């Protein structure tokens, strides 16, 4: 480790930065300070001079004026870089096959698929009866539905068991509050029935007229009630089927693999519960196994039995943190009736499964990589093969269980998303589709796996990609990405936009830091609650060792993260600002303590077991010790590009707004801080497959300027 190398390099670059593009700009916006005290139940108090930027209704003229002023400042700063942004956008979009379609799948006699037309931003959802040679039936043309809207998304759609009626959920704001509508597929008639304020999760009963859906709380957006709607009746008379009283749980609804049951699942960070009813007559829902703290499970049904993935200890009392598979008879109603089937292993994390008549496909993680294990009915097992050192493999859409064919997806940092179909009896493999990437030659790029050593001795996997011919001479620019929260693993898949960076000689690295589940449940547990700081120090340690190994120059490293990954960006900016030349932070969760003290904010109560409940002083103190907003201080910060959406329901816009305002007050450096608010979008940014790349191109143009990266290398 050579910290002085970073410090010296950063100082030298500061005198030669290309950010002279900002010369002559007016001063950045300066938000007004208004005294406000945030109080905790145990008596702790903190001043928050920018708390006033919060407006739940998004109508405060002073707040909107500030956000618009920040956007105008970004426009002015980025104007000289517009040619770079346009070039990046043109490259990214130019690699996309515009008239593309998904791999069709068969369900109840129809082949379902989605397709795009040239120049269109949104998909057309369609089907064909019997074969792909039959006439096309358009279910939804999202381009027509989204016309003249700044944002539009179809979150889910479902067709009745008799194939006649379509229900779909759409969102025209970006706040993830969906509206359900209905359409007769034979006549094209859109029914007058409308249901508002729901989650995009729809399930029909067997009677072809009763729809089960999940209703959100209008303020917290928590999934609180399952209701059923009967076509032709007013939504106001919909019956509550189940209401969840514990606001630390999320809720979903689905049909079992064999279509025999409709199941409501509720789950928190550390507990789950399933309640199911016969799909033919879903009047009464039974509990498969009552919830218990620190016991998680999910279940499916086929062949007269339940198969359950769980971390519950068995009869021997041994824990199963990496999960195992158990079975239960059709009438089982408690954990006592579960029988171990696929044993728990310390070195293999079971992530999911898919049931078939003759075999079971098990999605696992081993040595920080995904794999698929095929388990025959007679107990014989084998693994689906992969050919690269770093890759991502998972289950695809397998809509039918009475087949010998398994569909799965494969990708790597050099291989575009690929869908295969494997005959589990003969071993025959069919390539169904490889995502076309126009002008891209995978042979021109190299991916590898690197292991860094954390400061506490733990080995951290890192996935890398660069253009062939790259030399590890310590001169290159590098973008390092990570997420590291909620047990969400960041797998090394193909990224179209990153190709533009590789063609300019950059290295792209994914740090598989603690907080995900790449190395099993312990990897997650060691990156949350009172061990959350491991996530941040892992990221910094990876950066230092990649630089020492020659993958990047110490003064040409950028970091990128979004949402909880934006928390990561804020933490490393406070902890190790001299390690990064630029930081890209999208919809960042940076005001941890204040947000987690407010149960009215979406996601707060569901996440006490992820971050801690700051109403308890020990959690409060620990969270306060790393919360990016609270730990800003007088020091030189890297150049930053911070993005948000005004209608974001997961990380509210005011978190990054407050963060940038306070950062500007305390930053003693001279590097630019840009703050872009999409005034028409939510957590995921702009809708549509092209428009979001415009945002990414702007952010990348800013980064390339900071890292002094020129145009693409000759192919």
Catalytic residues: 563, 648, 683
CA dihedral 570, 576, 578, 582 (to 10 degrees): -30
Beta bridge mates, 253? 264
Contact 616, 580 (CB under 8 A): no
Query: What burial letters (b/e) apply to 57-85, b meaning 16+ CB within 10 Å?
Result: ebeeeebeebbeebbebbeebbeebeebb
Question: If DSSP codes are grouped into helix, strand and coil, which group holds residue 127?
Answer: strand
If 0-12 CB within 10 Å is exposed, 13-18 middle and 19+ buried, where does residue 629 land? buried
The pair of three-digit structure tokens given for residue 150, joined into one six-digit string: 């700044």
End-to-end CA distance of the chain: 36
Question: If DSSP codes are grouped into helix, strand and coil, which group holds residue 170?
Answer: strand
Q: CA 133 to CA 496: how far, in whole Å?
A: 31
Give the single-character DSSP code of 84. Answer: H
Q: CA 455 to CA 400: how far, in whole Å?
A: 48
Integer Rg of the chain from CA: 26
Which residues make Cβ contacts (< 8 Å) with residue 600, sequence separation at least 6? 219, 220
Q: In what order do the strands lie in the sheet with 392-395?
A: 392-395, 405-411, 418-423, 429-434
Q: CA 493 to CA 478: how far, in whole Å?
A: 17
Give the single-character DSSP code of 295. Answer: B
The pair of three-digit structure tokens given for residue 517, joined into one six-digit string: 């589940």
Maximum Cα interatomic distance, the chain, rounded to a whole number of Å: 75
Which residues make Cβ contacts (< 8 Å) with residue 333, sequence separation at least 6? 286, 287, 288, 289
Q: CA 498 to CA 587: how far, in whole Å?
A: 20
Q: CA 84 to CA 627: how far, in whole Å?
A: 34
Give the single-character DSSP code of 316. Answer: T
CA dihedral 35, 40, 46, 48 (to 10 degrees): -40
Which residues make Cβ contacts (< 8 Å) with residue 272, sequence separation at least 6? 265, 266, 291, 295, 296, 297, 298
Centre a 10 Å sphere on the Cβ of residue 330 and count the other Cβ atoms it contains: 11
Q: CA 116 to CA 135: how far, in whole Å?
A: 17
List C-alpha distances in Å: 211 to 160, 200, 251, 277, 473.
9, 13, 16, 14, 61
Q: CA 156 to CA 171: how far, in whole Å?
A: 10
Which residues make Cβ contacts (< 8 Å) with residue 220, sequence separation at least 6? 247, 599, 600, 601, 602, 604, 605
Contact 573, 662 (CB under 8 A): no
Instruction: Quickly tell me which residue has 């005011």 as its tokens.
Output: 654
Q: CA 715 to CA 701: how far, in whole Å?
A: 20
């Amino acid at each position: 480790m050579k910290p002085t190398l970073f410090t010296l390099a950063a100082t030298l670059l500061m005198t030669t930065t290309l950010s002279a593009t900002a010369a002559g700009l007016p001063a950045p916006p300066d938000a007004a300070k208004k005294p406000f005290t945030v109080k905790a139940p145990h008596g702790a108090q903190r001043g928050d001079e920018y708390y006033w930027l919060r407006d739940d209704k998004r109508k405060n003229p002073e707040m909107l004026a500030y956000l618009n002023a920040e956007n105008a400042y970004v426009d002015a700063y980025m104007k000289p870089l517009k040619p770079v942004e346009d070039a990046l956008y043109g490259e990214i979009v130019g690699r996309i096959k515009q008239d593309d379609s998904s791999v069709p799948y068969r369900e109840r006699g129809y082949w379902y698929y989605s397709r795009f037309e040239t120049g269109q931003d949104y998909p057309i959802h369609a089907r064909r009866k019997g074969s792909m040679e039959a006439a096309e039936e358009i279910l939804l043309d999202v381009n027509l539905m989204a016309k003249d809207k700044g944002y539009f998304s179809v979150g889910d759609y479902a067709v009745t068991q008799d194939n006649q009626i379509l229900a779909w959920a759409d969102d025209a704001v970006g706040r993830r509050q969906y509206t359900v509508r209905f359409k007769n597929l034979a006549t094209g008639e859109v029914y007058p029935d409308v249901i508002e304020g729901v989650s995009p999760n729809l399930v029909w009963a067997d009677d072809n007229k009763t729809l089960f859906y999940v209703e959100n709380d209008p303020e917290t957006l928590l999934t609180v009630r399952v209701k059923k709607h009967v076509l032709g009746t007013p939504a106001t008379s919909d019956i509550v089927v189940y209401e969840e009283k514990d606001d630390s749980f999320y809720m979903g609804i689905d049909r079992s693999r064999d279509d025999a049951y409709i199941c409501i699942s509720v789950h928190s960070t550390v507990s789950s519960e399933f309640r199911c009813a016969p799909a033919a007559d879903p009047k009464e829902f039974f509990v498969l196994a009552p919830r218990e703290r620190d016991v998680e499970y999910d279940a499916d049904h086929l062949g007269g039995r339940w198969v359950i993935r769980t971390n519950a200890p068995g009869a021997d009392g041994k824990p199963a943190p990496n999960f195992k598979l158990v079975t239960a008879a059709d009438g089982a109603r408690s954990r006592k009736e579960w029988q171990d089937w696929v044993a728990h292993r310390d070195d293999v994390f079971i992530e999911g499964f898919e049931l078939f008549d003759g075999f079971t496909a098990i999605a696992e993680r081993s040595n920080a990589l995904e794999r698929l294990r095929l388990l025959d009915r007679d107990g014989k097992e084998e693994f689906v093969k992969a050919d690269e050192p770093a890759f991502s493999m998972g289950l695809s859409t397998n809509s039918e269980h009475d087949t010998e064919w398994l569909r799965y997806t494969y990708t790597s940092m050099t291989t575009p998303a690929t869908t295969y179909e494997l005959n589990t009896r003969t071993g025959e493999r069919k390539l169904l589709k490889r995502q076309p990437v126009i002008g891209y030659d995978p042979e021109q790029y190299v991916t590898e796996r690197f292991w860094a050593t954390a400061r506490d001795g733990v080995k951290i996997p890192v996935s890398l990609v660069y253009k062939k011919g790259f030399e590890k001479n310590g001169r290159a620019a590098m973008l390092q990405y990570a997420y590291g929260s909620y047990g969400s693993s960041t797998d090394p898949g193909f990224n179209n936009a990153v190709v533009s960076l590789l063609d300019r000689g950059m290295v792209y690295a994914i740090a598989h830091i603690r907080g995900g589940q790449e190395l099993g449940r312990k990897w997650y547990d060691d990156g949350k609650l009172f061990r959350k700081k491991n996530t941040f120090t892992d990221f910094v340690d990876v950066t230092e060792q990649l630089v020492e190994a020659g993958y990047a120059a110490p003064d040409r490293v950028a970091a990128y993260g979004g949402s909880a990954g934006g928390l990561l960006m804020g933490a490393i900016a406070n902890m190790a600002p001299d390690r990064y030349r630029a930081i890209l932070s999208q919809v960042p969760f940076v005001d941890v303590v204040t947000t987690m003290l407010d149960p009215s904010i979406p996601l707060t109560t569901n996440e006490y077991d992820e971050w801690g409940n700051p109403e308890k002083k020990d959690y409060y103190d620990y969270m306060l010790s790393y919360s990016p907003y609270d730990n800003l201080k007088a020091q030189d910060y890297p150049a930053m590009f911070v993005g948000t959406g005004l209608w974001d329901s997961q990380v509210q816009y005011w978190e990054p707004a407050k963060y940038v305002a306070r950062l500007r007050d305390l930053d003693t450096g001279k590097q630019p801080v840009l703050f872009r608010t999409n005034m028409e979008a939510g957590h995921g940014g702009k809708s549509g497959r092209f428009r979001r790349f415009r945002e990414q191109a702007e952010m990348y143009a800013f980064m390339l300027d900071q890292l002094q990266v020129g145009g693409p290398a000759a192919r």
